[in-house]
A and B are shown apart, each in its own frame.
Chain A
Amino acid sequence: MPRWLRYAIVAGIAALTVVLMLAFRHDPLDIRTGTVGKPAAAFTADMLDGSGSLSLNSYAGQVVIVNFWASWCIPCKEENPALVRVWERYRTSDVILIGIVYQDSLDSARRYVRDNGVTWPTVTDEDGRIAFAFGVRGIPETYFIGTDGLIAGRHVGPIDEATLVNAIEALRPKAKR
């Protein structure tokens, strides 16, 4: 076997090892999407409680947390207490939390909202267009939108209070903290 080929094989195995090491170090909750770092898709959707509609544009310049959930989703129920606490903390501030119902019946979603203390604005997405525009792959998923309107980050799976607060504080202008 020529020497160059031996070197090439060794280099190939080394490269493969490095790729595998990097892949195993990758956070499984940090699934790449096409939307992070880009402007959040503007949407107008019906409120779950039937009180009209909500437009993302009306929160321009604010930190917006968008959370996709469904009543049938067990991890969504797990993360709900954290969302409740964070909403209580920020509801009078410049931070808005928006819930988006993902592939769920309206009756079930309304019952969930009533039974789990969900008081933040919640909208429906019956044709899945909002989830598609954000690049949702499964729920729960939470998106962090900065004051510049860009999606600054995304969390896949149930989120905890510390992660939420850290993400919000990182996006809030210092003057408003």
Chain B
Amino acid sequence: MTRERALILVALLAIVGAVAWSARPHETTAAERVDRITSELRCVTCQGLSVKDSPAASARQMRDIVVQRVAEGRTDDEIRDEFRASYGDWVLLSPPVASWTGLVWLVPLVALVAGLAVVFGRMRPPSPTVAAPSARELASLRERVAREEALDLPQTDGAR
């Protein structure tokens, strides 16, 4: 093994080790839970900002509610459901799949499947669509070939 290969192997092992270390199961703190939940909730007075990212007063109040509910021992789903009870699914930045808004997830998948169907349809070799010549046409063609051979003319593609 060359020195370069050894270095690449060590680097790869280091990367895998770092990923495994960061992904190790660990106890989620209350602050992490608050951050996670508020990043999934929409600020109701902002344009496309999460409660976590928004500096608006309403977002701060919503964050306070999440902090309180986490401290009370509510589960993430219970907290989300409380917000959904007030604002509907709209308040979730990622709409739940099992709802009418779940179409947001479904439509791109349907479009992807349709696109793949078109692509594979085009890649398939075209099926022979030219009908076999009838006996009469064959006879006519043979006669023409024989005539041209007799005259020693160059063969044409029949377009003339």
By a beta-carbon cutoff of 8 Å, the part of chain A in contact with chain B is: 1-2, 5, 8-9, 12, 32-35, 38, 103, 127-129, 131-138
Contacts and interface: CB of A to CB of B under 8 A. Distances in A.
B96 to A, nearest CB: 13
17 contacts: A1-B121, A2-B121, A5-B114, A5-B121, A12-B114, A34-B85, A35-B85, A35-B86, A103-B57, A127-B64, A128-B57, A128-B62, A131-B61, A132-B62, A132-B86, A133-B86, A134-B86
Contacts of B86: 33-35, 132-135
A63 B114 CA distance: 53
A2 B118 CA distance: 8
A127 B114 contact: no
A74 to B, nearest CB: 15
Interface residues of B, number: 19
A136 B61 CA distance: 12
Contacts of B45: 137-138
Contacts of A9: 114
A132 B45 CA distance: 12
Contact of B88 (A1, A5, A34, A127): A34
B65 A132 contact: yes
Interface in B45-60: 45, 57-58
B91 to A, nearest CB: 8
B117 interface: yes
